[in-house]
Amino acid sequence: MHFLDIGEVVARSGVPPSTLRYYEEIGLIRSVARHGLRRQFDHDVLMKLSLIAMGKAAGFSLPEISGMFGSDDRPDIPRDQLHARARELERQIIELRMLRDVIRHVADCPAPSHMECPSFRKLLKSATTTTASRSPKPPTTRARSARRR
């Protein structure tokens, strides 16, 4: 009976209790028992929370992540969906690299107005064309959580 009290899960995972309750409410995780009122979780929940965190970071929505676990609670994701997401991540990476270059350019270019700097325009243009072909479903929370300091 090495169940984890919710307080312990909070301490170990850094996920706030309200979030854990919310996740349970939407069926993303589940508690296995109560001690008084207190939820007790199986030890596995920590791993699951890691996967959830990664899924979020990768731009999956909670319902999507939810769908990634089979009834046995183990990861069970359609491969093509995963590959699609990997490609999407690849695209994001490319985009970030471009943005990084643009920003670096802005920092270093001595031209009075960037709009008139040919190499700035060029960077921007190449960025724009790749961005134009971006996926219909923009990841919203992903970069934020990935970016937290």
Among residues 37, 24, 27, 34, which one has the least CA distance to residue 4?
A: 34
User: In the complex with a copy of itself, which residue's Cβ is closer, 24 or 98?
Assistant: 98
16 vs 68: CA distance, rounded Å: 22
Which of 32, 47, 61, 91 is the binder for DNA (CB under 7 A)? 61
Query: Min. distance of Cβ 144 from a copy of itself in angstroms?
Result: 6
Q: Count each helix (H run) and each strand (E run) in the chain, helices first.
A: 7, 3
Please report whether residue 85 would count as binding DNA according to CB under 7 A: no
Which residue type occupies 91?
R
Nearer to DNA, 79 or 148 (CB): 148
Q: What are the E-state strand segments in the chain? A: 4-5, 33-35, 38-41
Binds 113, which of DNA, a copy of itself, none (CB < 5 to 8 A, cut-off by type)?
a copy of itself
Q: Looking at beta carbons only, is 19 or 77 nearer to DNA?
A: 19
